Structure 1
Amino acid sequence: MEGLVHTHLNDQIRPYLDLIDSLRLMGIDQDLPLPAIAVIGDQSSGKSSLLEALSGVALPRGSGIVTRCPLMLKLRKLKGGVQWRAIISFSGTRKEFTDKSQVEEQVKTAQNELAGDGVGICDELISLEILSPDVCDLTLIDLPGIARVPVKGQPEDIGDQIQVLIRRFIEKSATINLVVVPCNVDIATTEALKMAQEVDPDGKRTLGILTKPDLIDHGTEQNILDIVNNQVIPLSKGYMIVKCRGQQQIQDGIPLEEATRMERDFFSQHEYFSGLFTEGKTTTQSLATKLTQELVRHIKDSLPTVSDKVRDELFASKKQMTQYTEGPPTDAPGRKRYLVDAIFRFTSQINNLAAGEDNLHVALRSHFEKWLDDLERSQQPSVSKEILDVVKQYDKKHRGRELPGFSDYKVFEMVVQKLVKKLQDNALYILGVIRETVHKHFVNAADPIFSNYPNLRCVTMNMIDKIQSRQEVKVEERIKEQFEMEALVYTQDKTFLKTLKGLSEDNSPEEFHECEIPGTSKDDRFKYTGMFKAYYEIVIQRLADQVPMLIQLFLLKQSAQLLCTEMLSLIDGVDLDKVLSEGSDAGRRRNELQSRIERLSLAQEKLSQELS
């Protein structure tokens, strides 16, 4: 039929469109973006008229928001002699019909069901497949017209809602954005082109469509030529200009076939636009051909990337699936075996943590090294000053007839006790940090095994908390006992003399000149201060080892043993149905993941066949 939007496509093109459609039918677009053409435009831009001209059917029209849901318009050219038919699908509903005049009403019904009666919008997709000998092979996604001011019955933020919906489609790198702009408005101010530029600043995925060329003011034709010739706002895919049926033509009953002939005549005979007609930059028919070529080229270019993404998503999904089991058996013996297996897997991991077969000990060592750093920092340069301060205080309070420098052994004890007491808070702080670290690793061991069973996980978490709390109290008592023992000021004579000798060899009297003890010489000060330093060095070494050993013994080793024992006691002491009750989302997540793996596997197989 002459004048209709017909593009006889090479048989090699159709398989690419069918491939993407089959991937969409599998639901792959839930997992990754597929090549598509999204149609956007401000309200009353001529978007609906353009889609009608391409599809050959009447779509919902009117003022305000007409497209209230994304509409995937799939046009499929059939061999001659085959009857026209359409299939509309949405939200689990599928309906086939053979009367063209029903299209507008069917789309309205679907929109009302999804978005409600009125003027609201919904982001759920409606699929409308047109199968006819009089259409081109093409798939378009029609999006709501961009609104600025809400009308009666619309929420105040309707403009923002529409932009969010549109952006969700056009920001995908796999989408070609078809921007519809009327010729009689300033193209630089149109919201649709602004949005397209935001997501595609280089214009590589954007094709501009100018509509309503018959409405431009005389004398502005050159401006339109400049735009179409890519001289105003350049786009890699360029611009085209079309003239579809206007409202008056629709009211006059002019059919689409006649409107297409009129469009061709308008451009071919136009004083300014006839050159564009010759170049193939005008008419809906030329646009249909260009869109099909662009989409097929885009699909060809995207297929290797799509294939890689399908492979990556499949690998990631299979990896996630390893966290989910098939679920516990329904029979009591089977459920018990299932529980035993889960508990043994958990206790095995806990034992590995305690034995150092995990990175937990790496974290502990870093904390213990910090404890050692704190101890070593406490040695210098404050020890001499502490000695001087204590001696001065003692002399002030207790020295009577004694000569200077003859203070008794109590001074030694007072210095040591004062220095050591300051370290207890640091030791208890390290204890708290280690407790959190061990607790975190215990919980991380439980989560992958028990995450699907909230009751069992809750029981396990309570055990971990209670055991860790009890053990923390015990080790805190032992640490405090350790510091009480350090207040006794004791070490073996040989140990003390050996340490003192080492200090004497490593240092000189000049090291202690700052300790101005009245009535003592420099050599005396060295001897006097060196005794304190030697003993403090012994204290530091004891605490450096003893505190970490106490913490590891009580918080890690004993905690792990107690936890494993109490977990094993669950096997014969719990309600199997209760502890193995799956969480409300666990089964759903597992099923969703399984469905995803299945469709990705099918997609991978199909893509491999196509690319081989």
Structure 2
Amino acid sequence: MSPVITLTNNREILQKDSPIVYSYNDQIIPLLGAVDRLRDLGVMQEGVNLPINLPTLVVIGDQSSGKSSVLESLAEISLPRIRTRVPLILMLQQNNQEEISLKYKNTNLLVTENHIAEAITKATEEVAGKGKGVCKTPLTLIVKKKKGIPNLTMIDLPGITPLPVGEQISEIIMDYIKQEDVLILNVLSAASVDFSTCESIQMSQKVDKTGRRTLAVVTKVDKFPEDVLDKVRDNIGLGYICVRNRIGDETLQEARTKEARLFENHQILSKLKKSMAGVPALAERLMYLQSKAIVKCLPDMDSKINEKISSYSNELNKLPRHLTSFVEATTTCVRIIASSKTSLNNILFEGLFNEYPRHMDMMRGGSVRIVEMIDEYNKELEGCLNIIDNGKDFLVDELERLEKPIEATTLHDLYFSLMESHVDRISMIPTNFVEKIWKYLENVIITVLSKFDNYPQLVFLVELAAKRLVARKKKLSVDWVNDIVAMEKSTHFSSDPEFYKWNSQLSGQRNEIIQIINDSSRSNWNVKIEGFGEVDVGHLRGCKRFLAQAFDLKMWVFARWKLVLKRLSDYIPMHVIFCVQKLVTEEFDGILGDLMEPNSENGLQWMLESSSVANERRRLRNGLMVLKWSRDVAADLKRKFGE
């Protein structure tokens, strides 16, 4: 028997392989070769998925439409000439170990090529019984060969029939064709009056409304050629291809030869387009659709590669800069300190903080935030003005102290004792305020330094030095504040003329207030006292002893207490603001000197890169190299196979 002559693209080709093997070698192998090259480059290890498996071909159609004949014509494997009653999964695989096996239930049966049909018939009876019943349990025929076979999966399903098992068959078919990754091969007999009304077409249209994965195959055109040309003009899915079934005892080679002659010489069928006639045309179309399934993944793959390249580049840029010399490390450190100093000045004194959008709450005008903390501090001090009453009625506390029989206690001794007690009660307010300001400054400095995340080894050292500087300044401030508080407790001095004037005004009310208290004719004992507002003095009626001294003591303490709060309210914030300004404008530059040591070990420390960072840099660079190579291969793949 001479080789078969088939027509493809109006060229005669000497075809020795089966139609599907020939088309597979012609169209799919080069495509898969390019995909294999991408796989060998290691692009999948970089998180880019490759189109590995070809879509499965699912063959459906009416009973006796010639489904199995189409399948065996494509693969050149003899299948049973009986009605298909169970799904038959035909897996063709290139493999170094050649064998044919049939799997069903728990059976794995090795068969020879000449006994495939017999083995399938026997297995069908075991699975579905010897009657006409159908079963959804599949048979899997695995054909492994070293060459002359494509890596392809085809599924032959039971034919649609109006018999009682028809509903069960429909369920089996729908289970397979509803999967989005299958191509539906809808086999129609030329004897059908109207293809569009065929049940198999209607079923495929339910799951594939656009017809993008449905190809119609018209069989038995040699027996019913009359209306074929009209029937295949209708738009249906991916179109039609007409084939001639193997008849009787014809070999597959004989059937192919007769089919080629039929479409070449038949008065009607020869008018079909070459791309619509014959098993070779069907195989070529199927392989085109298979390759298209891979090609449609190319844009997504290309996009994923570019996304990964961009992601890796960004990650690489975020890694710490690899400093190569002591000079480079020192220069970079100077730049970090100078830039940070400018940013601190903008934030704390100019109210500019736009370069830190992620830290708006903390950075929103450092000067404003400091003023807010000063306001909070002053309000807390103002709330302490009334602690001199100790929760008791007017002059009660002072009278109790004067009436205590403590030897050698003078009015001035009581005055000093009360002032020391009052100052002691608020002594932590200034200290807490100062510590709060320095803590805020430390947080601002750390945030400012965070923008240099490309140099974490330098930022870490600068941050430590900055924290040491802030800690020193805070200790000096706290010590100074403690001294101020201690002075207020032990040294009762003021040259403030306003204080003396105020003290004189307060004490000058004594005689008038005592006269009111002693006036028994009064019915209202609420009197207005300078500095205290309206005060109820009714509880002081009849009190003669120590009343004048108690009043003088109250007024002295009150005047002095207002002066203490005023001085703490002014001097402490002024001191802190001055120290913060001095740190930023004068002392921050000294961080570099704190980092530098007589030997170069510290400089070497700046340049050292941790093993984890070095490994990550190496991984990203290698990944970028793989991705860029893969991008070139994918671009070439697109040029050759893309539409």
The TM-score, its normalising length taken from structure 1, stands at: 0.48
The TM-score, its normalising length taken from structure 2, stands at: 0.46
Q: Which has the larger radius of gyration?
A: 2
